[in-house]
């Protein structure tokens, strides 16, 4: 059991790094004030697999270390950005309880499909909000753009990466999780 957990966490970490490295030739799309970090789609995985929490944390830390050669943020992004991702992944894993509470308190029964959509919407809130508000602090300082400009565009990028791409990743992962 423990070996499978570590294997899934390692696979998620490796995938996170690969997805960030693939974006490097696209310029600052993975780290700039206007960004869509595709790897952030993996931050929804804690909704269905707790191994994703250390997986995205380690993957983000390694990816941010690699990006120190391309981005002006250095060590603050390696540790600060990774801690934001860790916190977002942990909080995302806890949103399942909120969704369950909402589903129980609605008078009519909610379909399984509606519960999944609700899970994705509520599970997307921590990574979108935390990244937009916190990561934008050093993006605005390091790249000389206004803070709220960065908040807006990082938030929009997170909605695309986490909300849209993340729902596709979540769908695919649920199909293969038991085979890893």
| The pLDDT of residue 131 | 95
pLDDT (0 to 100) of residue 49: 94
Closest Cα partner for 80 from 31, 153, 21, 24?
31
Distance CA 19, CA 29 (A): 12
Cα separation, 48 vs 135, in Å, equals 25
Compute CA 151 distance to the chain's CA centroid, rounded to the nearest angstrom: 16
DSSP 58-110: HHHHHHHHHHTTTSTTTHHIIIIIHHHHHHHHHHHHHHHHHHHHHHHHSSSPP
Confidence (pLDDT) at 98: 77
Q: How far is residue 33's CA from residue 12's CA, in Å, rounded to a whole number?
A: 25
Q: Could you say which DSSP state residue 32 is in? A: S
Task: Kindly give, in sequence order, each residue whose CB lies less than 8 Å from that of residue 97, ignoring residues fewer than 6 positions away.
Answer: none
Q: Mean pLDDT, 10 residues at a time, over the chain (180 residues)? A: 90 96 81 86 95 97 90 86 96 84 65 82 95 93 91 95 94 83
Extents of the domains making up the chain: 2-179
Six-digit token string for 55: 């997986």
Q: Decide if 20 contacts 67 (C-beta within 8 A).
A: yes
């Amino acid at each position: 059991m423990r070996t499978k957990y570590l294997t899934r966490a390692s696979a998620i970490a490796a995938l996170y790094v690969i997805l960030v490295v693939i974006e490097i030739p696209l310029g600052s799309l993975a780290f700039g004030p206007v960004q869509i970090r595709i790897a952030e789609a993996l931050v929804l995985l804690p909704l269905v697999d707790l191994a994703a929490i250390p997986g995205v944390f380690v993957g983000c830390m390694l990816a941010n270390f690699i990006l120190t050669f391309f981005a002006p943020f250095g060590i603050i992004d390696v540790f600060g950005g990774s801690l934001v991702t860790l916190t977002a992944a942990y909080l995302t894993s806890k949103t399942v309880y909120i969704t369950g509470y909402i589903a129980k308190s609605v008078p009519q029964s909610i379909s399984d499909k509606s519960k999944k959509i609700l899970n994705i919407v509520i599970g997307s809130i921590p990574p979108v909000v935390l990244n937009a508000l916190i990561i934008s602090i050093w993006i605005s300082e390091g790249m000389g753009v206004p803070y709220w400009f960065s908040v807006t565009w990082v938030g929009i990028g997170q909605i695309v990466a986490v909300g849209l791409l993340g729902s596709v990743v979540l769908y695919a992962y649920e199909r293969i999780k038991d085979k890893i």
